[in-house]
Amino acid sequence: MSARLSNRRLRLLLVALAAVFALTIARAVWLQAVRGASLGRLAARQHHEVRLLPAGRGTILDRLGYPLAIGEEATTVYANPKQVRNPRAVALAAAATLGVNADTLYPQLVDRRRGFVYIARQADPRKAAAMMRRGLAGVEAYPEERRDYPQRSVAAQVLGYAGVDNRGLAGVELQDDPALTGTPGRQTIVKDPFGQAIDVISSTSVRNGHDVYLTLDHTIQAYAESVLRSTVRHWHAKDATAIVLDPTTGGILAMAVVPGFDANRYPGAPRERQRNRAVTDTYEPGSTFKLVTVAGALSARLVSASTPFTLPYSIQVADRVIHDAEPRPTETLTVGQILAHSSNVGAITLAELLGRQRLSDWISRFGFGRATGIDFPGESPGIVLPVDQWSGSTIGNVPIGQGIAVTPVQMAAAYAAIANGGVWLTPHLVDRVAGGGRPHVERRRVVSRGVAAQLVSMLENVVEEGGTGTLAALSGYTVAGKTGTAAKPDREGYSTTKYVASFVGMVPASKPRLVILVAVDEPHGQIFGGLVAAPAFKEIAKFALQYLEVPPDDAATLNSAGSDGASADASSSDASVSSTP
């Protein structure tokens, strides 16, 4: 090869090297001067990561501190597909240790467009630890909390549910989510080129949520649910509801709805079982509503408890004829007897004395037609027609609990006002929040103390011999209450086969400690509140009084076998209503 050709090749090589060097310098200048800031941020993101440290959700406890909803330790395992070196190995390992579907996980791991993929959410910590010991690149984990309801079905509709993100989705969990939810912490970590954490450079601490103490007593709650289950089975009923309320504080000791479900399986429970029907659903109350009519007439001083009325079996109201539940001759009944015998004709007669405007005012005064303000989401205000929309026959329907819809908690609160000397209190489920104050309880006088005492005395007669609620009588305790049997509305007016049987009472009547409501929806075999609901009231009351160590107030009946075995008067029915031709 000639020297000239050799020099030429050397010059070409030098030119090529110079060009490559120039391009390298230009690239370096461009990367540092033009792309420097963005590439710096990218590098920081690849080697620095901010992790959220989840806050523990507060515990929900009953009035005695028994846990009803708690947080359990769990671990969430995830992957960054951009850092996963062997997707197949990760998928197989996850299937072996965590029980996930490898065929479902694998396509997500090979998708490099993703920066985050859940492998297992809220996994068992031991299984998650086994997965992490495999040291697979791109796989990481963080501690999390999983909600657990140790009492399972007890108070399930009241407690509600906290979802996979530990946020309240229903019930008390939703209502008190701001208090139960804490503030998460943060950690800024440094990672090696393989994505493994090697240092923590900054952190802020976690603030856990506050514990919430309810007024519920889990023992009374569980017993009330048990009684309702037996009642529903015995009468082949559609469902049943019970409320146990302290009339002096407004605190609810039990709010039972049957059928129920396991709160740990809330998402899979039928929607109709998830509702807390004591707060969200309405029903026509029937004769239990006569308390409002009598209270209005007494308070307006139109009558006294002993005022007599000569009452026929039926009464004409506009285009309707309304009669009492059982055929009888024309007879004289006092106001007290009208309530004790649940006379529809008598209650309508008192309502006509009051007049539609004053009756409407008393309905509002007792809180019907608007929400009670109970600390529970989704409360229904009930259905009450304004007086300017009343028809001619409304004055005959509403006084006996037809043509009006109430919630069980509204009715329990109304009777609690009478038990509390005429003072209405906001019914509530939350007693206190740890680290905070107690909820505000509204108080307002509904009737005078004297009228309240008269009403309690009249309601005692309902349970005594000759009244409609004798099966609610309880040995050793005076009981005051009212039966109700209401036909359910249907397309034709009112059903002849579907009823709601109810009983609302207070005990001991001399100084009420408890107001208990029981409502049974669509019982079969019997429909009367005195036969279907009163025995359930008795069972719940007997247990709760003994459990709370409330002393007897009626020594005369302690050893009386007959008081517990009194027969019920089937006239606990509401109205039989028929239209005139």
- Using one digit for the tens of pLDDT, what is the confidence trace for 335-346? 999 998 889 999
- pLDDT score at 217: 96
CA 474, CA 176: separation in Å to the nearest integer? 38
- Calculate helix-pair angle for 408-419, 449-463, nearest 10 degrees: 110
- pLDDT score at 557: 63
Which H or E element spans position 203?
A: strand 197-204
- Count CB neighbours of 562 within 10 A: 11
- 413 conformational bin, left if phi > 0, alpha if psi -120 to 50, beta if neither: alpha
CA distances from 379 to 360, 376, 461 (A): 22, 7, 33
Q: Which of 353, 242, 367, 343 is nearest to 290 (CA)?
A: 343
Which three-class secondary structure state does DSSP give residue 44? helix
Specify the pairing of strand 212-214 against strand 430-433.
antiparallel
DSSP string, 281-315: --B--GGGGHHHHHHHHHHTTS--TT-EEEE-SEE
Q: Are 507 and 443 in contact (CB under 8 A)?
A: no
Is 287 an annotated catalytic residue? yes
Question: Which of 226, 230, 287, 567 does the annotation list as catalytic?
Answer: 287
- pLDDT score at 197: 56
CA distances from 551 to 86, 156, 471, 481, 508 (A): 73, 31, 21, 19, 9
- pLDDT score at 64: 94
- pLDDT score at 348: 94
Which domains are present in the chain? Answer: 50-214 (3.90.1310.10), 218-579 (3.40.710.10)
CA 141, CA 95: separation in Å to the nearest integer? 16
171: its two tokens: 């019930």
Q: Are 430 and 212 in contact (CB under 8 A)?
A: yes
State the alpha helices, DSSP H only, in 133-170: 156-159
- pLDDT score at 511: 94
Which residues in the chain come in under a pLDDT of 70? 1-7, 10, 26-54, 184-203, 205-206, 555-581
CA 259, CA 266: separation in Å to the nearest integer? 13
Q: Are 108 and 81 in contact (CB under 8 A)?
A: yes
The conformation of residue 56, written as its DSSP 8-state character, comes to P
CA 544, CA 108: separation in Å to the nearest integer? 56
- pLDDT score at 116: 83
Q: Would the CA dihedral through 467, 223, 440, 159 be positive or negative?
A: negative
- pLDDT score at 363: 96
- pLDDT score at 18: 72
- pLDDT score at 125: 83
Q: Are 560 and 535 in contact (CB under 8 A)?
A: no
- pLDDT score at 569: 37
The conformation of residue 209, written as its DSSP 8-state character, comes to P
- pLDDT score at 561: 43
Q: Which of 258, 269, 221 is nearest to 429 (CA)?
A: 221
- pLDDT score at 26: 67
- pLDDT score at 578: 34
- pLDDT score at 491: 80
Q: Which of 134, 132, 130, 89 is nearest to 109 (CA)?
A: 89
The conformation of residue 502, written as its DSSP 8-state character, comes to E
Q: Are 502 and 287 in contact (CB under 8 A)?
A: no
Q: Which of 333, 213, 216, 294 is nearest to 459 (CA)?
A: 294
- Count CB neighbours of 152 within 10 A: 14
450-471 residue pLDDT tens? 999 999 999 999 998 778 899 9
Specify the pairing of strand 308-311 against strand 331-334.
antiparallel
Q: What angle do CA 428, 293, 257 make, to 5 degrees?
A: 35
